[in-house]
């Protein structure tokens, strides 16, 4: 394809598919897999990742954070069940129900609103009961969960199909707290199913739990960051092989030789210590190439690593090529990914930025064109 903006993300859909197949091989064919495609598939393209998963049969459910995310998937033709993972305001529910998005219900007020949305939409509202077992964010308490399940089962137009919770430290080195939480959730899920009078889809395993807590796998697992190629934390066991789902690339847009003592960029924060070549690249913090990389980040050109110099600008950044170079305008620049034998991994970005891989890929700007590899 012809790119009108050189800075682009290459999405390796084949790698994402392989990650999903590896997850399936680990958890077994009897369990369902829900893949988190919220936040535009963690920056990888929610529609394209979902289409790949549906076509390849590597997932049974999709997970979103907002009603518009679910509606977008339906408008793109996705048929897999979609679970909205957090609470929904009453005025959002009818659109969700009309799109066939399953709602997470955390309170009796949400339950009543779901019934009203079902009446207004003229179709049943599919819901899963969310139980708070230690995340402390959203969800009904374990003690109140059976009563809410009973209420949901009695409401006209409401179809209770599942019960779930979320694990806050499944990626930690010490497994003790998570093991105890899983045990509490299993008991809560049994009580909910007894109150509902039927078997429900029970699920709690996020990426950390898929990798480290087999007892959490239950009826369905919900991998997120790991389908895009990353463990949630360096301490999480690497029990399943993963391949990166994204590379971030651009090209040299300008090249000049500068004399020793020349300042580069805003604030004159870098002064050339010697005669050197400076390459300018059309990538900056508006693309998700963080300003914190100023004078400390690096890029790859022709399999070699080069330091960023001066402040990362909104739309451009500068690279010190050294006193001799064969780099030319138009040469490919790897910001994230592999060039020859050299590689810059998402984990390196996260460490330098003091954040997590989730934020790194989510912050790749919408103006950065996604180019999708075949799978």
Residues serving a catalytic function are: 38, 266
CA separation (Å) from 209 to 36, 92, 102? 14, 31, 23
Q: Which two tokens stand for residue 204?
A: 């709690």
Give the strand pairing for 332-339 and 101-105. unpaired
Q: Which two tokens stand for residue 103?
A: 């709602």
Give SS3 for 121. helix
Q: How many CA atoms lie within 13 A of 354 on its CB side?
A: 3
177 within 8 A of 168, measured Cβ to Cβ: no
DSSP conformation class of 7? -
46-56 helix and 67-75 helix, angle to the nearest 10 degrees: 60
Give the strand pairing for 201-205 and 158-164. parallel
Q: How many CA atoms lie within 13 A of 259 on its CB side?
A: 1
Query: Which residues lie closer than 8 Å to 332 by C-beta, 6 or more apart?
Result: 249, 250, 251, 301, 339
Give the strand pairing for 332-339 and 342-344. antiparallel
- Burial of 301-312, coded b for 16+ CB within 10 Å and e otherwise, reads bbeeebbbbbbb
Give SS3 for 332. strand
Radius of gyration of the chain (CA): 24
342 within 8 A of 300, measured Cβ to Cβ: yes
Burial class from Cβ neighbours inside 10 Å (0-12, 13-18, 19+) for residue 208 reads buried
d(CA 257, CA 136): 56
Give SS3 for 340. coil
Backbone angles phi, psi at 134, to 5 degrees: 145, -10
């Amino acid at each position: 394809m012809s790119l009108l903006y050189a800075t682009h993300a290459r999405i390796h859909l084949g790698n994402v598919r392989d990650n999903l197949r590896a997850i399936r091989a680990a958890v077994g064919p009897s369990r369902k897999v829900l893949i988190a495609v919220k936040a535009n598939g963690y920056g990888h393209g929610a529609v394209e990742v979902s289409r790949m998963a549906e076509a390849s049969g590597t997932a049974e459910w999709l997970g979103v954070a907002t009603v518009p995310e679910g509606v977008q998937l339906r408008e793109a033709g996705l048929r897999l069940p979609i679970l909205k993972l957090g609470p929904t305001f009453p005025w959002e529910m009818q659109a969700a129900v009309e799109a066939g998005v399953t709602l997470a219900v955390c309170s009796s007020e949400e339950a009543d609103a779901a019934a009203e949305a079902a009446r207004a939409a003229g179709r049943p509202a599919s819901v899963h009961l969310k139980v708070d077992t230690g995340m402390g964010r959203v969800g009904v308490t374990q003690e109140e969960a059976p009563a809410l399940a009973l209420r949901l089962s009695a409401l006209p137009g409401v179809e209770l199909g599942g019960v779930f919770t979320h694990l806050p430290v499944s990626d930690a080195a010490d497994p003790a707290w998570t093991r105890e939480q899983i045990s509490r959730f299993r008991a809560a899920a049994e009580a909910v199913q007894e109150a509902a009078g039927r078997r429900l889809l029970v699920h709690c395993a996020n990426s950390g739990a898929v990798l480290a807590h087999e007892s959490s796998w239950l009826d369905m697992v919900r991998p997120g960051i790991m389908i895009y190629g990353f463990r949630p934390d360096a301490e999480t066991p690497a029990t399943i092989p993963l391949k990166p789902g994204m590379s971030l690339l651009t090209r040299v847009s300008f090249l000049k030789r500068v004399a020793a003592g020349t300042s580069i960029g805003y604030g004159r924060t870098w002064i050339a210590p010697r005669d050197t070549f400076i390459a300018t690249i059309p990538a900056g913090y508006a693309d998700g190439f963080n300003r914190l990389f100023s004078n400390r980040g690096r890029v790859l050109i022709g399999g070699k690593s080069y330091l960023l110099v001066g402040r990362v600008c909104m739309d451009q950044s500068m690279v010190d090529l050294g006193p001799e170079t064969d780099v030319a305008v138009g040469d490919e620049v790897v910001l994230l990914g592999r060039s020859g034998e050299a590689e810059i991994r998402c984990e390196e970005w996260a460490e330098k930025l003091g954040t997590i891989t989730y934020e790194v890929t989510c912050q790749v700007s919408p103006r950065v064109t996604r180019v999708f590899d075949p799978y």
